[in-house]
Structure 1
Amino acid sequence: MKLSYCGLVLDSALDLPGLLPAAPDAKPDLVVRRGIVPAGAAEAGHPVHAVGDGGVLWQVAGVARYHIVPDGTQITVEPAAAADPAAVALLLLHSVFALACALRGDWLLAASAVAIRGRVMAIIGPSAIGKSALAAGLAARGHAVVADGLLRLCPAAGAVTCQVQAPWLLLWPEQQGWTAAAWSTASLVRRDMSLLRVPVRQAAAALPLGAILVPRWRGAPPLGSLMYGVEDGGGGGDFARVARATAGGVPAATLGRAAGHLRWAAAVARVCPIGALDLDWGWAHFATALDRLEAALP
């Protein structure tokens, strides 16, 4: 089945719910197949291993083993016995896909992104810091969603174009009531989590990148404060912010393949406004936070 994801054509033997079909005659950029994937040597805290053929093994106990060929154009998946198919697909479409893109040489940000007046605002920052919540709030105001999790960037003539990821946001049930998402058709991302994949209106086509913002919450609880102390501690400037948000960059660096990501992080920092936006923490200030995000991209 040929599917569209992050501007690429996936030819997948696995069921990947929620993705839109690609043209039947489209040439696949990445092939996902089922097969036998030999286990790698167990190493605590490190699911990613280089293997003898020059490819990469990603293994998660109870979910699946994934083998990525050296150029990132094919992923072989061996689900674990009795594995939740949704969990297998979730890992494939996020961590494993990001590493495959890293091997392909693609530019990929861990970001939530929306289209505002014909350009894309990418929101970056640590996990659980509110990227999806802010994107959902902007979607409720009529802005089309470009990405939630993985934003693929394509450089061209001194600018950067953003590819559309998929027509969904990943949201928690308590976020109902203030989004424009179609909750009645939401589905669990995996059966042991309450996180939902919620359909939304996506951008119709790739759009130019307008800005990259790191939300920095005033009055956040200790977890948020700790995360932002790490995320935006003042060291490294724009380049450091983009480099930290490189999807697939950490495992790529573990495998000694980080040089390409550092080069593209520097290239993005040269052509795109990047900055931190101070916002007040709490739902009482959420509408004001959205106002400031909209105003940040004139």
Structure 2
Amino acid sequence: MLNPSELFRFEADGDLADLVPGPLLVALGGFIDAGTIQALLTSHLLDHSEATVVASFDVDQVLDYRGRRPAMVFEETRYASYEDPSLLLYRLTDRDGATYYLLTGPEPDYQWERMVEAIRLLQRRLGVRLTVTAHGIPMAVPHTRPIGLTAHATDVNLIGERNPVFGRVQLPGSFTALLELRLGEAGEAMVGYAVHVPHYLAQAEFHDGALTALNAIVDVTGLNLPNDALIAAANEGRLRLEAEIAGNAEVGTAVAALERQYDAFVEAADKPNLLAPPSAPLPSGEELAADFEQFLRTVGEDETPG
């Protein structure tokens, strides 16, 4: 493996003396982010906190530019600008002045193992003891009921008692998933949250889901993160969605059916999950895997919410 320390550099305008220990939030995308949960959460934290760039990564070594071509602007007779991709580590403070870090940018295409080691070097330098990530996954649930999430971690004690939705499922790998696996093998702590996004909102901005992710991060880290703007955006989004559903009888009928299914499980004394009607047998791990893999095959296709 090439030297992982050569993948990043500390920025000259940052004061290394300010690099006190704190949790690390990782937002490096992946193969799925239903409801743009991770993107909304990242933008919210950067927009409502004072952020300082601590370190930057050499994206030329880890990105496939032809696989996802950066945008450029052409004006009449010349190229005027280029949206160069960046992978940055920020230092932020919460509302109580506590330090935390945010690593954000495009998911690396290459050198995953080397990137993992580079992040571990940064974690040791910063005194990071807990790493957290969150994103959205589509589920057959209604937006009118409490938003669920699937929690996973390198140590089950980090997530408490939860009823798993999935059993054993094989799915495409992501860099963040590999990071969690490798940190767990090294005895280090990482927690991930997959927010359950109503499948009909998978391509929309689901602020309620981003707020759920924020609250989960607050609970596990103890940070006092800003939430006012996200709460306001979630309220506005809810009103717009209700107005749209009120004008579409077909969608309203589908949501009502999901509500009945959800409520039936909540009312069942021995409910094992919220995914199937109580009169039906529970899906096996193989059936769940087949359903999820069928969805994965559709990722990237154009879909219209509702």
TM-score, normalization by structure 2: 0.31
The structure, 1 or 2, with the larger RCO (C-alpha pairs under 8 Å, 6+ apart) is 2
TM-score, normalization by structure 1: 0.31
Structure whose residues are more often helix by fraction: 2
